[in-house]
Amino acid sequence: MDDRLVRSVGVELSLVTVDLAIFTIRGGTLMILLVERGEEPFLGRRALPGGRVRSGETLDEGARRELMEETGIDGARLHLEQLGAYGDPGRDPRGRVVTVAYLALGPDLPEPVGGTDAAQAHWIPVGDVLEGRASLAFDHERILSDALERIRGKLEYTTVAAAFCPEPFTLTELRTVYEVVWGRGLDPSNFRRKVTGAKGFVEPTGDQRAQTAGRPAALYRRGDATLLSPPLLRSAP
């Protein structure tokens, strides 16, 4: 985008983009999907997938389209919600770019096979980014930490945790979601009571899954409820 061009039209216009913070859990680790930038600025640096919003689409539609284009993931299967707008004047060296960040959660998703964009997407442990072992383009680290904080909070009073589990799932798998996101162990028996007692959180399928060892676990699918009340608090009392 040419900054002079924008000034010439008389009113301040901005480029509006969507950026996606897509999370999944693989092997007991919380992962974020990042692309390697194929152009300036921040060429070669990792970034959240995203792109321009097109003229006919809503912001949500733009987010789903970018999700598909950059990662090959069908947004219909994911939990997708808006996180917020980020528009500091200095966040993009090319000029004013306002981005609307989205938060997406999905069950163990495949390693994306190069989207239509040249950029290749990869799953990276969230810890690697937050502890400084990988630095992101633009203000994407800020977006990532806001997204993570949002998830941590939402696990308390909603049923979104189930969005991380491929159906059908066991209660241990669901509990692992909480443990990985909160970085804290939960008592299996109390967790079970809470989840099965909350109407509409999970529905038993009636089937079981055999493990390599131990008693087979009952299988569940997601229920209709989205809110969890009373909440399941993360604070250790």
Instruction: Report which residue type is found at 83.
Output: L
Footprint of DNA (CB under 7 A): 170-172, 187-190, 192-194, 197, 208, 210-218, 230-233, 236-237
Tell me how far CA of residue 80 lies from CA of 104, 130, 173, 197, 221, in angstroms.
Answer: 4, 22, 21, 26, 19
**Residue 143 engages its own copies in binding (rule: CB under 8 A):** no
Decide: residue 231, CB within 10 A, 0-12 exposed, 13-18 middle, 19+ buried.
Answer: middle
**Residue 11 engages its own copies in binding (rule: CB under 8 A):** yes
Q: Are strands 46-47 and 29-36 parallel, antiparallel or unpaired?
A: antiparallel
CB 194 within 8 A of CB 201: no
Q: Which does 59 bind (CB under 5 to 8 A by kind): DNA, its own copies, none?
A: its own copies
User: Cβ closer to its own copies: 114 or 153?
Assistant: 153
Cβ 234 to its own copies shortest distance, Å? 10
Cβ 165 to DNA shortest distance, Å? 13
CB 174 within 8 A of CB 221: no
**Residue 148 engages its own copies in binding (rule: CB under 8 A):** no
Coil vs helix vs strand at 79: strand
Among 135, 172, 190, 229, indicate the residue that binds its own copies (CB under 8 A): 229
**Residue 7 engages its own copies in binding (rule: CB under 8 A):** yes
| Close Cβ partners of 45 (under 8 Å, ≥ 6 residues apart) | 36, 37, 135, 136, 137
Cβ 175 to DNA shortest distance, Å? 8
Q: Which does 96 bind (CB under 5 to 8 A by kind): DNA, its own copies, none?
A: its own copies
Q: Which does 116 bind (CB under 5 to 8 A by kind): its own copies, DNA, none?
A: none
Per-residue exposure over 191-200, b if at least 16 CB sit within 10 Å of its own CB, e if not:
bbebbeebee
**Residue 199 engages its own copies in binding (rule: CB under 8 A):** no
Cβ 233 to DNA shortest distance, Å? 6
Q: Which residue has the tokens 């949500």?
A: 60
- Letters for 75-114 (x = contact with its own copies by CB under 8 A, - = none) are -------x-xxxxxx------x-x-x--------------
Cβ 209 to its own copies shortest distance, Å? 35
Distance CA 195, CA 223 (A): 11
Q: Provide the binding-site residues for its own copies, judged by CB under 8 A.
A: 1, 5-7, 9, 11-16, 52-59, 82, 84-89, 96, 98, 100, 229-231, 233, 235
